[in-house]
Amino acid sequence: MAEPVKIKIWSDYVCPFCMLAEGPLEEAIKDVGVEVDVEWMPFELRPHPQPTLRPEDEYLPSIWERAVYPMARRLGVDITLPAVSPQPYTALAFEGYQYAAEHGLGTAYNQRMFRAFFQENQDLGEIDVLVALAGEVGLDEAGFRAALADGTYRARHQEALREAAAHRVQSVPTMLVGDTRIEGVPRPAQLRKAILDAQAQQAEGDVYGASCGIDGSC
Span of 18-27, 33-42, 168-177, 206-215 with lowest mean pLDDT? 206-215
Residue 68 identity: V
How, if at all, do strands 174-177 and 180-183 pair?
antiparallel
pLDDT band with cut points at 50, 70 and 90 for residue 209 = low
- CA dist 204 to 180, 191, 198, Å? 16, 20, 10
Strand segments, DSSP code E, in the chain are 5-11, 36-42, 174-177, 180-183
Minimal CA–CA distance to 101: which of 152, 162, 61, 63?
A: 152
pTM exceeds 0.95, yes or no: no
- The predicted structure's pLDDT at residue 210: 62
3-state secondary structure (DSSP) of residue 67: helix
Which of the four pLDDT bands, split at 50, 70 and 90, describes residue 2?
A: confident
Q: What is the mean pLDDT of residues 85-106?
A: 98
pLDDT value at residue 153: 98
- Where would I find the beta strands (DSSP E) of 30-84? 36-42
